[in-house]
Structure 1
Amino acid sequence: MKLCWLDVRTKNESTTAILEEAVHQRIDGIVAATAEDLAGLPPTVKKVLFPEGTALPEDFGEADVVVVDPARHGDPAVLASRHPGVEFGRFVEIVDAESLDVACRSASTERWSVLLFRDPTKIPLEIVIAAARASGAEGSIITIAQDTEEAEIIFGVLELGSDGVMMAPVTVGDATALKAATVTQTPDLAMVELTITGVSHIGMGERACVDTCTHFRKDEGILVGSHSKGMILCVSETHPLPYMPTRPFRVNAGAIHSYTLSADSRTNYLSELKAGSKVLAVDVKGHTRLVAVGRVKIESRPLLSVDAVGPDGTTVNLILQDDWHVRVLGPGGVVHNSTELRPGDVVLGHLPTADRHVGYPIEEFCLEK
């Protein structure tokens, strides 16, 4: 889990409420300019003293970590030897190649490195993360973010991200939003074997190809279904075709009315998706990841209606393009061409339990047929 440090060195009328929210949200660290401002915080939060621009106090109070600027305060290793009960971190402001080199050394050797990048590019952070990884560093990189949008970007740099983010909140709600930005993992889903009970041609209709900004694996696709309580795993175009190149970013998903899964167990109609939307990529073992949509192509094509049943008797329907290069996945990653599906074939799917209201799961009576 990524670390969230809330910087309350600059106070406003909301600071007291922000601190209450931060404790409730289990923010990892509170950063203050004075030891007095850390007094009284619960033991569940790391107390970080960061006296930037001023001299170190004689008494660190309840501080767990003291972040220092070596040019003003001295070397963190020397300070740590004098104060064995406190952890020390190094603050580095990266403005050029020389300061970037200092940041790389700090990330490779210090227990805590608090980094401020003045330029908007994330390439210097990539270099620091790579240097720390190459050195086998055991310390943590805390990168200063201006807002939660930048925090999300920082957490994803090089697919590894900074170990943590430090952000100054402006108002109540910022601590909650920062904590939410740390959730980079999506939960696994329970995949079930569905038995095909019928396949029929239903004529023309609009289907959606979902083109994402990622490469799908051969055993990965997106879940699609006519009903919110039953979906079939549609595979991406990663498997060879004789008449066209593979398009490993694309899932020929289904008719435009169909549901698919996105973040936080929410569903979206395929017709709602657009550039910038997020959908849940799922593999045959139920492992998931959130991927960005780059484009959705909606075109009129002949359609097939595929009916299936789950182990518990739940019925599932999927309407997809009537063409053999449109495929779904079975157990073990077996690929089934849509036009060759027959009663008795076994495919993989997922059976959500909740009904839906504007895509959100909700416990209410809802009959879909």
Structure 2
Amino acid sequence: MNKGSVQREEMGAGSSTWWFDARGLDDAALRQAVERSNCTHLLVDHSALKSITSAKKLVVWVEKVGDLSDLAPSVSVLTPHEEVRKAAVASGRAAGLFIEVRDLEAEFPYCVMVCERGDDFVVIDIEHATYIPYELLIAKTIGKKTQVLRSVPIKGLARVVDDIHQSLNAFATMEHGIGVVFRSKDVAAVDSLSKNLRHRQASIMNLLPARVEEIQHTGLGHRVCVDTTSMMSAEEGMVVGSTGWGGILVCSETHHLPHMNLREFRVNAGAVHSYIWGPDGSAFYLSEMRAGAEVMCVDLAGRARVVSVGRAKIERRPMLKIRCSVPLELVPPQLQARVESMLEMQERVTPKGERVGSGDRRVHINTFLQNDWHVRVMGADGKVRHCTLLQPGDELLAHVDDPGRHTGLRIEENIIEK
């Protein structure tokens, strides 16, 4: 299993690429926001190129073939003219067309042709929010290097859909997504797009083998079913635990139920007081789950994706406490150092011959689940376990984390959880 904190995977081609359109904008604070963002390219005017210093890949807007002569080979070219694109490619540069579609029915065949021929990229602007034409263009570029993008703000959506969600919708088109050429004078908008995109990208959560230490029947309590707007696979679930130290992987309802239909969108997650892990290392109480909230859906390899909550269903049910532990040598280094420091402090003040604290170097995790056979958790061997059949000594998959939280966000603090 993976060790360490949440790690970001490489962005999928076409699913999260965004450029910033800096043409005609000269704002130092805005430029700094763009530089610290996760945008990949900076689009600039030819006249401003010599004054631009950026770590981003530069794309120059060019309208005349003669303006290509003083460009460095590393600079890409975006142009509305086919003859300029051809000349740029002939000179060894990456280049693509900007196509502003005014008559979709008449001009769409040309857009398809451009996408099929395998240009480096193409920016195609179609009015309004429809993504059906882009879905067709994505299908035409499967297996090709061409990156399809559109400009944001989108024509016809001003003051209707905000620029951030216009962009996020583009990234999600047909799962593959199209790229975005983003234009804004607002520093907060640049920061927001970067943050929203980062926490929607696929990530890895460290999952470790946790030994079951104790099973306790705890009577009636309120448990939460988290129903999402996404279908989950048999290998997926959510991380749920009673403390900020971590939780176990509770399976989605994708496994055989003898008396009812499957609910592949659901995780029967646990007691209302429990934490459930969300984007960017956040953790929220299950009682806070409501329509529109975002949580992490995690598979047995630790691959995680953000899913939206459609509803939270809270009912009184018999509950089961599962107490697990993870050897200290398996946990992330920063957490291991924190626990070791606490143990060393205890050892310094404990007379020789006396027992030191708990006496073991393990991180302990509690999880409360509905006491029912159909609620499953993921075993460390990649096989599901019925929670009612668990016994001490069984091994489950668990996520171990720093415990400090304030309104769900991680903070550094001294905290005791029992």
Question: What TM-score do the two structures reach when normalised by structure 2?
Answer: 0.79
Q: 1:341 to 1:86 in 2, by over 3 A?
A: closer
Q: 1:315 to 1:215 in 2, by over 3 A?
A: same
Pairwise CA distance, 1:10: 4.4
- Map Cα deviations across residues 147-206 of structure 1 (whole Å, 9 max, x no partner): 2221111111111111x3101112223333333344342331221222222222222111
Pairwise CA distance, 1:99: 2.1
Residue 222 of structure 2 is aligned to residue 219 of structure 1: no
Residue 135 of structure 2 is aligned to residue 126 of structure 1: yes
Higher RCO (CA < 8 A, seq sep 6+): 2
Residue 30 of structure 2 is aligned to residue 21 of structure 1: no
How far, CA to CA, are the matches of 2:121 and 2:367 in structure 1? 52
- Map Cα deviations across residues 310-333 of structure 1 (whole Å, 9 max, x no partner): 223211111111111111110233
The question of whether the paired residues in 2 share the 8 Å contact of 1:27 and 1:179 is answered with: yes
Determine the structure 2 residue equivalent to 1:6.
Answer: 20
Q: 1:80 to 1:337 in 2, by over 3 A?
A: same
- Map Cα deviations across residues 55-76 of structure 1 (whole Å, 9 max, x no partner): 5373345472332223xxx435
How far, CA to CA, are the matches of 2:136 and 2:188 in structure 1? 32
How far, CA to CA, are the matches of 1:178 and 1:297 in structure 2? 31
The question of whether the paired residues in 1 share the 8 Å contact of 2:216 and 2:321 is answered with: yes
Residue 259 of structure 2 is aligned to residue 210 of structure 1: no
The question of whether the paired residues in 1 share the 8 Å contact of 2:300 and 2:378 is answered with: yes
Q: 1:316 to 1:45 in 2, by over 3 A?
A: closer
User: Which structure 2 residues correspond to residues 308-327 of structure 1 after superposition, within 5 A?
Assistant: 308-312=324-328, 313-327=362-376
Q: Which moved more, 1:123-132 or 1:191-200?
A: 191-200
Aligned residues: 356
Q: What amino acid sits opposite 2:40 in the alignment?
A: D
- Give secondary structure in 1 for the equivalent of 2:28: helix
Residue 228 of structure 2 is aligned to residue 179 of structure 1: no
Q: 1:8 to 1:57 in 2, by over 3 A?
A: farther
Determine the structure 1 residue equivalent to 2:116.
Answer: 108
Determine the structure 1 residue equivalent to 2:379.
Answer: 330
- Give secondary structure in 2 for the equivalent of 1:332: coil
- Give secondary structure in 1 for the equivalent of 2:324: strand
How far, CA to CA, are the matches of 1:31 and 1:221 in structure 2? 41
Q: Which moved more, 1:144-153 or 1:239-248?
A: 144-153
Q: What amino acid sits opposite 2:29 in the alignment?
A: A
How far, CA to CA, are the matches of 1:87 and 1:341 in structure 2? 58
- Give secondary structure in 2 for the equivalent of 1:105: helix
Q: What amino acid sits opposite 1:200 in the alignment?
A: Q
Contiguous gaps of at least 5 residues in structure 1: none
Pairwise CA distance, 1:277: 1.0
Pairwise CA distance, 1:274: 1.0
Determine the structure 2 residue equivalent to 1:360.
Answer: 409
Q: 1:194 to 1:86 in 2, by over 3 A?
A: closer
Q: Which portions of structure 1, spanning 4 or more consecutive aligned residues, are displaced by more than 4 angstroms?
A: 60-63
Contiguous gaps of at least 5 residues in structure 2: 1-10, 154-162, 329-361
Pairwise CA distance, 1:281: 1.0
How far, CA to CA, are the matches of 1:261 and 1:363 in structure 2? 17
Cα RMSD between the aligned structures?
2.1
Q: 1:37 to 1:334 in 2, by over 3 A?
A: same
Pairwise CA distance, 1:351: 0.9
Residue 295 of structure 2 is aligned to residue 279 of structure 1: yes
Q: Which moved more, 1:138-147 or 1:182-191?
A: 182-191
Q: What amino acid sits opposite 1:356 in the alignment?
A: R
Identical residues among aligned pairs (%): 33
Q: Of the candidates 137, 150, 166, which is equivalent to residue 150 of structure 1? A: 166
Q: What amino acid sits opposite 1:284 in the alignment?
A: L
Residue 147 of structure 2 is aligned to residue 140 of structure 1: yes
Pairwise CA distance, 1:77: 4.9
The question of whether the paired residues in 2 share the 8 Å contact of 1:49 and 1:65 is answered with: yes
Pairwise CA distance, 1:278: 1.0
The question of whether the paired residues in 2 share the 8 Å contact of 1:93 and 1:116 is answered with: yes
Question: What TM-score do the two structures reach when normalised by structure 1?
Answer: 0.89
